[in-house]
Amino acid sequence: MQKIKNLACLFTLSLLLFSCGEYQKVLNKGTAEEQYKMAVKMYESQKYGKALRLFEKITPTYRGKPQMERIQFMVAQSNYNEKNYTLAGYYFDRFTKNYPNSSKKEEAAFLSANSYKLASPRFSLDPTDTNKALESYQSFINTYPDSDKIEEANKDYKELRYKLEKKYFEIAKTYYRTADYDARNYNAAIQAFDNLLEDYLGTEFKEEAFYYRFKAANDFVFKSTDRRKIERIKDATDAYDKLVRSFPETTYLEDANDMLAKLKQEQARIDALIANMKKIENIQKK
């Protein structure tokens, strides 16, 4: 029995060695046709890395030929299965553009978006792949509204959009948190919150963004010289109005009302200061 097992192992090893030797021989010295057949064999055997090496070699030969449609899809799928998601997204997208009449166009369009989604990093990192995924999903949703993948596409789109909203919300909050050390960051925070609220009208961070927009404007007032406070008090008051108009029962209402009361006191002080200065000027003129 042990002898049979040993023979079986030896036979399997021999097959593997032969297979590897055959692959290397075709890779290095095979004709384009032999390399094409071996690439398909590797692809169907789920040896995608080996398939990709062969596809790379034969692509110039088959460019413009009927086989190229199949090759390009397998290249995209191989990269996807090898978890080269950014490359997969690129190649699936190219496939949809190069073969607009292909029966696999819808599948490729979805997989392009899905590839970029899988390549999309955590919200705090570079959003390039996230943006590509959003564009690809939006294109898929618009082009294939009746697809059996539409529910999944909408779900993925929503998740990715939330990731971007969170990214820009956290950037704005970081500007606000660091403004104590660099007063210029008050302006940066205000602009960042404005951009978030304008670019993502239905954002889940809307209430918080309005609140921190007001808070940044309020704090900026009290870091400013009297000369600059007039316009900045108005900006802060306008921010308060937007918060309570959009969220009349906001959880931040008590704090917002306290800040507004202090702004009004500061406005009264500035008004009194201006009135006093005018009075002195009038006396001097006389």
CATH number where 270 lies: 1.25.40.10
Domain assignment present for residue 224? The answer is yes
Q: Which of 130, 97, 92 is nearest to 111 (CA)?
A: 92
Judge contact between 85 and 55, C-beta under 8 A: no
Q: Residue 121: pLDDT band by 50, 70, 90 thresholds?
A: confident
The larger pLDDT score, comparing residue 277 to residue 64, is at 64
Quickly list H helices, the chain: 2-29, 32-44, 48-62, 67-81, 85-98, 105-119, 128-143, 150-177, 184-199, 206-222, 226-246, 253-285
The pLDDT tens digits for 224-278 are: 998 899 999 999 999 999 999 999 999 999 999 999 999 999 999 998 888 777 7
How many CA atoms within 13 Å lie on the side-chain side of 224?
A: 23
C-alpha span between 281 and 286 (Å, rounded): 9
**What average pLDDT does range 119-130 have in this prediction?**
79
Q: Name residues whose C-beta falls within 8 Å of residue 197's C-beta, 6 or more positions apart in sequence.
A: 203, 206, 209, 210, 213
How many independent structural domains does the chain possess?
1
The pLDDT tens digits for 84-118 are: 999 999 999 999 999 999 999 999 999 999 999 99
Tokens of 194: 């404005």
**What average pLDDT does range 32-55 have in this prediction?**
94
Domain assignment present for residue 172? The answer is no
Longest dimension (CA), the chain: 123
C-alpha span between 4 and 197 (Å, rounded): 73
The amino acid at 256: A
Domain assignment present for residue 86? The answer is no
Give me the pLDDT at residue 30, please.
Answer: 84
The amino acid at 254: E
C-alpha span between 55 and 75 (Å, rounded): 7
Domain assignment present for residue 50? The answer is no
Domain assignment present for residue 99? The answer is no
Domain assignment present for residue 261? The answer is yes
- Residue environment code for 125-144, b if the CB has 16+ CB neighbours within 10 A, otherwise e: eebebbebbbebbebbbeeb
Domain assignment present for residue 258? The answer is yes
**What average pLDDT does range 116-122 have in this prediction?**
87
Q: Is the pTM of this model over 0.75?
A: yes
Domain assignment present for residue 241? The answer is yes
The pLDDT tens digits for 155-206 are: 999 999 999 999 999 999 999 999 988 988 999 999 999 999 999 998 999 9
Kindly report the average pLDDT of the chain as a whole number: 90
Three-state secondary-structure class, residue 124: coil
Q: Which domain holds residue 238?
A: 179-285
Give me the pLDDT at residue 9, please.
Answer: 47
